[in-house]
């Protein structure tokens, strides 16, 4: 089983979709912090694109432990988060704060108590900090992944975020794409 956690409006065929949103393609509606609907070691892949940054540095440890629990031995956790180092380079290169405010602070509306709640990013990562988090909860062989070489490469999501926008040939990738093994 391949899990797509915090998928929002994005649907990837062959994945089981989990999100708080009430959308037709969501297989399990709920918070991705806790996955009681899945047995231990039941997933071969856990994919979460621009989700982790919505948890603070304390709670993300428990989130990653839960994702580690559902991942089968030899399985892969595949993450994408805003890349702080790349965003700093964008600011250095262009000197324009408006190019990085969205990816840095984020903003998403999620259903809550019959209405909507606005969430913002609560932390940032560079490769070393994300690697330390992953290794700290038991993942190994932490490495970068290239969106062009995945089974979901044809489904545009934030793992393919560039500045200038959509310039996938010459732009700077501002998503830190990292995967690790269990």
What is the C-alpha to C-alpha distance for residues 90 and 97, in angstroms, rounded to an integer?
9
In this prediction, residue 165 carries a pLDDT of 87
Average pLDDT, the chain: 95
Is the pTM above the cut of 0.75? yes
Listed as own residue / partner, the contacts of 10-18 with beta carbons closer than 8 Å and 24 or more positions apart are 10/49, 10/155, 10/157, 11/155, 12/47, 12/151, 12/152, 12/155, 14/151, 15/47, 15/152
Whether 117 shows a pLDDT value over 90: the answer reads no
Q: Comparing 156 with 2, which gets the higher pLDDT?
A: 2
Pairing of strands 28-29, 16-19: parallel
| Cβ–Cβ under 8 Å, residues 77 and 180 | yes
Residue 85: which of 17, 181, 172 has the closest Cα? 172
Confidence of residue 114 (pLDDT cuts 50, 70, 90): confident
- Other residues' Cβ atoms within 10 Å of the Cβ of residue 155: 17
Task: Please give the CATH topology (third level) of the domain spanning 2-181.
Answer: Rossmann fold (3.40.50)
pLDDT(84) > 90: yes
Residue 37: CA atoms inside 13 Å, Cβ hemisphere, count?
14
Domain boundaries, the chain: 2-181
Separation CA 55–CA 106 (nearest Å): 12
Residue 113 has pLDDT above 80, yes or no: no
For residues 113 and 123, the model is more confident at: 123
Residues 20-39 have pLDDT tens digits of: 988 899 999 999 999 999 99
């Amino acid at each position: 089983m391949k899990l797509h956690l915090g998928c929002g409006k994005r649907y990837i065929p062959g994945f089981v979709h989990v999100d708080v949103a009430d959308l037709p393609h969501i297989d399990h509606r709920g918070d991705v912090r806790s996955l009681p609907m899945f047995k231990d070691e039941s997933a071969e892949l856990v994919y979460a694109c621009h989700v982790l940054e919505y948890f603070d540095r304390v709670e993300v440890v428990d989130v990653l432990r839960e994702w580690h629990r559902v991942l089968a031995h030899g399985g892969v956790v595949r993450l994408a988060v805003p890349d702080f180092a790349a965003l700093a380079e964008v600011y250095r290169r262009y000197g324009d704060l408006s190019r990085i405010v969205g990816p840095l602070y984020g903003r998403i509306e999620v259903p809550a108590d019959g209405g909507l709640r606005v969430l913002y990013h609560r932390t940032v990562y560079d490769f070393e900090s994300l690697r330390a988090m992953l290794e700290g909860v038991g993942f190994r062989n932490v490495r970068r992944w290239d969106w062009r070489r995945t089974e979901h490469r044809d489904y545009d999501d934030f793992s393919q975020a560039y500045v200038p926008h959509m310039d996938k040939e010459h732009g700077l990738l501002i998503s830190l794409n990292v995967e690790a093994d269990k």
